[in-house]
Amino acid sequence: MGDTIKPRLMEAGADLNRILSILEEKNPLSLLDERIEKAIVENNARLLILDPIQGYLGSHVDINRANEIRSVLKSISAVAERTGCAIVLIGHLNKASSSSSAYRGLGSIDFRAAARSVLLVGRLKNDPTVRVIVHDKSSLAPEGRSLAFALGDEEGFRWLDGYDGISSEELLCGFAGETKTAAAEDLIRGILSCGTEVMSEEIFRAALQKGISRRTVNEAKKNIPGIVTRKNGKSWCWQLPK
């Protein structure tokens, strides 16, 4: 908490007055612990995060036995119902690379069955600084589009565009295929290959015809070294010298 989580929160600009933890030094926490609901009610908490979920089952619960997992998850679900607090349980994947996403969680499949929404987070093979979030299950609403963020490069954390078409299975395989960002890079290089200045709006229009957003084009531009930009009146020109 002190040497990892707090520094990361501070770097992200979090309001630490709105972030609390339950002390576990003398008494380890479990999903059946009454301190969870007490802490939520006393602090009017709107979000509870437990990471990793396997560490909060209690010493007598077998993570592979559905009947044991089901009763524990039913208890924490009841807490969410009574308090209105959103509860996020973070788990880890097993190494069964041939399995579908539904069977990749550690332990019983009841972890997934009990959840109303499941998000899968994974790295890309060709760029380990990029993580993609795929909505793998949604019981109460349509599944959302995939999101991506960069973590670990010089710019720190930032949201990325152009990864909304990745599926759970592709992500679990590392996804080395072409993303919209990569397609935007190819488009920019092709348009600027002549070496002369081109209005940025012309590039944005060409990208839009291929279903690529302005934000993705700007993200792709960062990945191409040597692009020179110049303001011409109220417009911008881009150039990639030969």
Q: What is the pLDDT of residues 5-35, one digit of tens each?
A: 898 888 888 899 999 999 888 888 998 899 9
- Domain limits of the chain? 1-115, 117-177, 180-239
Q: Is the pLDDT of residue 107 over 90?
A: no
Higher pLDDT, 19 or 151: 19
Q: Which of 17-21, 147-151, 163-167 has the lowest mean pLDDT?
A: 163-167
Structure tokens at 14: 């979090």
Residue 113's pLDDT is what?
82
Q: Sort 91 into a burial class: Cβ within 10 Å, 0-12 / 13-18 / 19+.
A: buried
Cβ atoms of residues 66 and 110 within 8 Å = yes
Cβ atoms of residues 114 and 74 within 8 Å = yes
Residue 178's pLDDT is what?
63
Q: Which of 32-41, 72-81, 134-143, 149-158 has the lowest mean pLDDT?
A: 149-158
Nearest to 70 by CA among 30, 20, 121, 112: 112
User: What are the backbone dihedrals phi and psi of residue 143, each rounded to the nearest 5 degrees, phi first?
Assistant: -65, 140
Going by the DSSP 8-state scheme, the letter that residue 25 receives in this structure is S
Residue 80's pLDDT is what?
93
DSSP for 66-120, please give it. Answer: HHHHHHHHHHHHHHHHHH--EEEE---B-S-TTS-GGG-BSS-THHHHH-SEEEE
Whether domain 180-239 has CATH 1.10.10? yes
Residue 228's pLDDT is what?
92
pTM equals: 0.67
Name the average pLDDT for the chain: 86
Q: Which of 86-95, 158-167, 184-193 has the lowest mean pLDDT?
A: 158-167
Structure tokens at 173: 């395989």
Residue 176's pLDDT is what?
55
Q: What is the C-alpha to C-alpha distance for residues 65 and 107, in angstroms, rounded to an integer? A: 8
Higher pLDDT, 67 or 88: 88
Residue 68's pLDDT is what?
81
Q: What is the C-alpha to C-alpha distance for residues 13 and 161, in angstroms, rounded to an integer? A: 22
Q: What is the mean pLDDT of residues 61-90?
A: 88
Q: What is the pLDDT of residues 111-130, one digit of tens each?
A: 888 888 999 998 887 778 88
Percent of the chain exceeding pLDDT 70 equals: 95
Confidence of residue 97 (pLDDT cuts 50, 70, 90): low
Residue 129's pLDDT is what?
85
Other CB atoms within a 10 A radius of the CB of residue 41 amount to: 13
Higher pLDDT, 91 or 177: 91
Confidence of residue 57 (pLDDT cuts 50, 70, 90): confident
Q: What is the C-alpha to C-alpha distance for residues 82 and 141, in angstroms, rounded to an integer? A: 21
Q: What is the C-alpha to C-alpha distance for residues 57 and 219, in angstroms, rounded to an integer? A: 42
Q: What is the mean pLDDT of residues 184-192?
A: 89
